[in-house]
Chains A and B, each alone.
Chain A
Amino acid sequence: MAFNSFLKRIDLARLIIAAFFVFLCITAVALRLNLAELITSSLSRIGMWSVLVLAMLPAIVSGIGPNFGVSLGIICGLLGGLTALELAYRLDEIVQFSPGILFLMAILFSLPFALLVGVGYGWLLNRVKGSEMMIATYVGFSIVSIMKLAWVFLPFTNPEMAWPIGRGVRVQVALGNRGLAQLLNNFLAIRIGEVVIPTGLLLSGALCALLVWFFMRSQTGMAMAAAGSNPRFAQAAGISVDRQRIIGTVLSTVLGAVGILIYSQSYGFLQLYEGPMFMPFVAVAAILIGGASVSKANITHVVVGTILFLGIQVVAVPVANAFTADWSSMGEISRKIIQNGVILYALTQAGGE
């Protein structure tokens, strides 16, 4: 029966989380919370994270596992964003860039960083097979913490990014001054009553997902999937497993860079310093909640996971607050428990060595 095979595919952990989401939504309706506001912020939150969660897909498919080091890609994206802002400032006298061009420039500038970093990072991950997740986490932590020094010393001169006194780039660089804030969110945005649909944001997420979907169906994508799911067989069939893993890592890093720029324009700021540190864990948890495992994933997992996990995060806070004002930390606490509980569950399912 179709229903039975459906049940088999959805295991208990996901069922509990999905049930929790439904419960939150029903409670929100019952408590007469402002539904329009909830839906609006859910949609923009889901769109913000979509590409970052998507970045997990090529990593898992190519066999390196969930990319706990996607913070490397995030940093490349931030560097691209800062470079674009700096260039716009230096050329202010000569030419004024429109926000759209500026955003494309940010993505363009982040690509060489992401490609370079992705290749190096993939090379490293090929040398530590079997411990990729732990190494990726600590490589991410290390790079984020050395970048804190870099943000202080990098020679950016744009006063919008610098501290008024002292040296270095600000902790949060505002994007509003140059019209970048909510650029995609407002593009073709649709208003239905009080609900605002951030069409541009959702479309750009969908576009990235579509590109990845096409890539997965290309010859390289097929080879990558083969290398990830059965390395020995792939090697025997003449596929260079190490090469495919590097391609997967590069793709994941690039998506991380693009993803953070999409995230930042919606948030309105580039978050530097501590900002990228724990972002990978959210993305990892989201794709796992969507039904992926540490070795298998597809686009559906990305979509379902992003909607479920980010939806829960948005709805949980006002629901908890509606019960009692003392439960104000409940949203953050439930995020921690669900996010890390799901990652732990996936680790136990992987079966170890």
Chain B
Amino acid sequence: MQSKTTVLRESFVPRSIESIKQFLVSNMVTIMFVILSVLGYKVSGMTPFLFFMDITARISRNAFLVLALIIPVMAGMGLNFSIVLGAMAAQAVVIFVTHWGIGGLPGIVLAVALVTPLAALLGFLTGTLFNRTKGQEMIAGLILGYFAQGVYELIFLQLVGSLIPMSNPRLIMGSGVGVRTTIDLTGGLKYGLDWPGQYWGNDLLLRPTLPWTALGLSVLLALVLLAYQLRAEKRKRWSIPRMVASMVGIVVIAAWSIVQIRSNSQINWIRVPLLTWLVIGAACVGLHFFSKTKLGQDMRSVGQNRHVAAVAGIDVNRVRIKAIILSMVMAAWGHIIFLQNLGTFSTYGSHEQVGLYSAAALLIGGATVAKASIKHAVLGTILFHTLFIVAPAAGRQLFGDAQIGEYFRVFVAYGVIGITLAMHAWKHVLQSRSDAKPSGTEH
């Protein structure tokens, strides 16, 4: 019966319309957020200058953290809410590096070197915990984050200054015990990666303007696409409509950039932290190639079915621990990028929302609990943070209260995660129910 209708449909409806429909349905969340972002931007009445300045900063600040979520999804462990621990490790290291007074790019390099083993250890412990709570990794990760928050506060609010000797009026509270609630990184790690030249007195080193960066990126993207199309196997090549659509998009961006460069609009004042973007790009490329390695493939098999993977001779628990270690280390690096861009941070609060906002961004980009890619991470970061920027302004325009926009964006973050989780769990239940039904041919 079902096959009959499909045959009928195929004979009457052109294939391209059918595939467009499928595209719309499977990218519903993302399309909805594109529309929401565009509307929000229109309503907010923001100037393009303010918007692009903010979104440039937010992409460089958050993209790496979102990428940190991809590997655990690959390994079938869902959204890794325990990346909050990686963020705490990063803050701990940043506090010490600031205490020692090492700033700029050298400070960043030192912080990364110190945080890597710490985050790896935390990742190992978290992975071990997750192996004892299989099937409940997400709630375990969430609660672990709250637990770690308590331990973190114990160390930095009570023990530093009392048991752990540390005296630095810039960092320690007036009473001599506990680290101050906000830490200013100005003159230290602030912009260490974003403005690598500042350490050597050259503020503009590796900081091209936004239009030039966009132009360069679009040329690069076009070349990569063309090279792929020429060199890839025939069946892996992109279809003609997809290729044309992408090229039109690239040309539009390039044309916009050229128009901006030739005008004297304020957009030309916005500078892109190129080194940070290169690091994010390197992470994307690294993740792409990692998924093709033996370990990456093992993770995929574990993610698809633990039991099948175990039968195939994969040490499932080990692979899962490795996935969490990698994710945790990436989260710690990502949070260092986040902090150096922010410049000041709340010692006991800046890490709290890392898991929530990163997960929401990834899902808005079109990922699910079982499938996430670099494309989802990048697109999701842009969309989620567009919404974040325009929501308060739109709230003020529509209701005379910016607070309403803020409530709305927080609801969006929680709601998107809630709905995606529920939809995934529902699908899972339906699937296992249909698997359990006797199918006749197998028996």
Contacts and interface: CB of A to CB of B under 8 A. Distances in A.
Interface residues of B, number: 45
Contacts of A350: 133, 136
Contacts of A131: 135-136, 138, 421, 425, 428
A238 interface: no
Interface string B109-126: 000000000000000000
Interface string A231-257: 000000000000000000000000000
Interface string B424-439: 0110110000000000
A347 interface: yes
Given A127-B426, A130-B428, A347-B143, A329 B158 contact: yes
Contacts of A327: 158
Q: Which of the listed residues A127, A142, A149, A330 has the most CB atoms from chain B within 10 Å of its own CB?
A: A142
B50 interface: no
The binding surface of chain B is classed by DSSP as helix
Contacts of B129: 344, 348
A352 B147 contact: no
Given A336-B150, A352-B134, A347 B157 contact: no
Interface string A309-335: 000000000000000111101101111
B133 A149 contact: no
A133 B158 contact: no
A139 B178 contact: no
A128 B422 contact: yes
B135 A341 contact: no
A344 B144 contact: yes
A308 B318 CA distance: 38
Contacts of A324: 162
Contact of A134 (B139, B149, B150): B139
Interface stretch (B17-25, B223-231, B410-418): B410-418
B414 A138 contact: yes
B140 to A, nearest CB: 5
Given A124-B422, A131-B421, A353 B140 contact: no
Contacts of A167: 401
B40 to A, nearest CB: 15
A141 B414 contact: yes
Contacts of A335: 150
B421 A340 contact: no
Interface string B225-255: 0000000000000000000000000000000
A133 B150 contact: no
B154 A135 contact: no
Contact of B133 (A146, A340, A347): A347
Interface string B385-412: 0000000000000000101100110110
A141 B411 CA distance: 8
A246 to B, nearest CB: 16
Nearest to B408: A149
B136 A133 contact: yes
A166 interface: yes
B184 interface: no
A319 to B, nearest CB: 14
A178 interface: no
Given A128-B429, A141-B418, A348-B129, A134 B401 contact: no
B288 interface: no
Contact of A330 (B158, B401, B415): B158
Given A127-B429, A148-B407, A326 B175 contact: yes
Given A128-B426, A340-B147, A344-B140, A149 B158 contact: no
B157 A130 contact: no
Nearest to B424: A131
A142 B418 contact: yes
A343 B143 contact: yes
A15 B426 CA distance: 39
Given A133-B136, A146-B415, A344-B144, 17 more contacts: A128-B426, A131-B135, A131-B136, A134-B142, A135-B425, A137-B139, A138-B421, A142-B417, A142-B419, A145-B410, A145-B415, A167-B401, A281-B146, A326-B175, A326-B177, A347-B139, A348-B132
* Nearest 3 A/B pairs, CB to CB: A336-B150, A352-B134, A128-B425
